[in-house]
Amino acid sequence: MSQPVVIINCKIYQQVEGRGASSLASICASVREETGANLIICPPMVELARVAEQSKVPVFSQDVDPFVPGSGTGFTSPSLIKATGAVGTLVNHSEHKKPAADVGKCVSMCKELGLTVCACADTKEIAAELAGFSPEYIAVEPPELIGGDVSVTTANPDIVSGTVDAVGSVNRKVKVLCGAGVKNGKDVQAAVALGAHGVLLASGVVKAKDPEAVIRDLVGFI
């Protein structure tokens, strides 16, 4: 198994407004350089280009739409993401869902441009469906646990191991991540023990009083 990944989704929290996302990316870069940890950051869309240009940590977009360059006010095309210097994207987060067919189009278009895709799923059934599109990662996140204080690995470990099995039955090349309530290194360790390849988290880092300490704890097991 290759090294587990920790993807930090900044969402649009107040802490990452202005230079906040760049500052968090700098912390991630420092920890990554020092420890060799596989860290990825997803800044707010309006900060994507700046963070991608300035940061030494891999940068993902928070979302993508199945659009080619042209008219499409308010949408984000794979081509635009590629042009910022970002190396991948999330898609179908529970806060920004898409029809499965659109997810498939996004994955295909991103692959053509060499962008890595992490598709999000609420359930193991949806995860298995999305696995048919062959994204590099699928992150399972029960929406009722997102932003909470109890990790999915504690509240619902079966959804993690079940998703690993369900996705593996469709496409063994797709790596499964888990998220929702993930806060510390023990949660990462539990996720890996359940068969996941890493975690996707947001508030546990972004809203922390000491984000660097949290990040170091998250990657301590890795």
Catalytic residues: 93, 141
Q: What count of other Cβ atoms lies within 10 Å of the Cβ of residue 3? A: 12
Cα separation of 50 and 43, whole Å? 9
Closest CA to 3 of 28, 40, 30: 40
In 87-141, the DSSP E strands lie at 88-91, 116-121, 137-140
**DSSP letter string, 137-161:** EEEE--GGGTTSSS-HHHH-HHHHH
- Residue 11 carries which DSSP code? T
Q: With H, G, I as helix, E, B as strand and everything else as coil, classify residue 25.
A: helix
Spatial contact of 179 and 205, defined as CB atoms under 8 Å apart = no
Q: Which pair of structure tokens corresponds to residue 211?
A: 């984000």
